[in-house]
């Protein structure tokens, strides 16, 4: 099910969205949908990182090599 969300953008940003969407051969709506999905994913990743990094540090895990040694 789809719902509509109306968002107010400054004129310059609206033009930038329209141009970027045109270059990617998608509608402005699709461009914004993709941007929102990406932002939500990045926010979730950042939250997981904020939670897990202190736990990793407490366990002595600092580098990719440390992670590899733990999982292998």
Is residue 3, in this structure, part of any structural domain at all?
no
> Domain for residue 6, yes or no?
no
As a whole-number percent, the residues of the chain with pLDDT over 90 amount to 100
Tell me the CA distances in angstroms from 54 to 3, 50, 58, 61, one per residue in order.
39, 7, 6, 9
> Does 23 fall in a domain?
yes
Per the domain annotation, does 5 fall within a domain? no
Are the C-beta atoms of 31 and 17 separated by less than 8 Å? yes
Helix axis angle, 28-58 to 11-23, nearest 10°: 90
Q: How far apart are CA 61 and CA 59, in angstroms?
A: 6
Reported as a single tens digit per residue, the pLDDT across 27-57 is 999 999 999 999 999 999 999 999 999 999 9
Asked if residue 21 belongs to a domain, the reply is yes
Domain count, the chain: 1
Q: Identify whether 4 is part of a domain.
A: no
15 pLDDT tier (thresholds 50, 70, 90): very high
Q: Which domain holds residue 60?
A: 12-71
């Amino acid at each position: 099910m789809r719902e509509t969300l109306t968002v107010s953008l400054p004129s310059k940003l609206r033009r930038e969205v329209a141009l970027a969407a045109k270059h990617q051969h998608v509608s402005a709506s699709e461009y914004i949908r993709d941007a929102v999905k990406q932002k939500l994913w990045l926010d979730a990743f950042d939250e997981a990182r904020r939670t897990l990094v202190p736990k990793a540090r407490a366990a002595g895990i600092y580098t990719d090599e440390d992670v590899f040694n733990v999982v292998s």
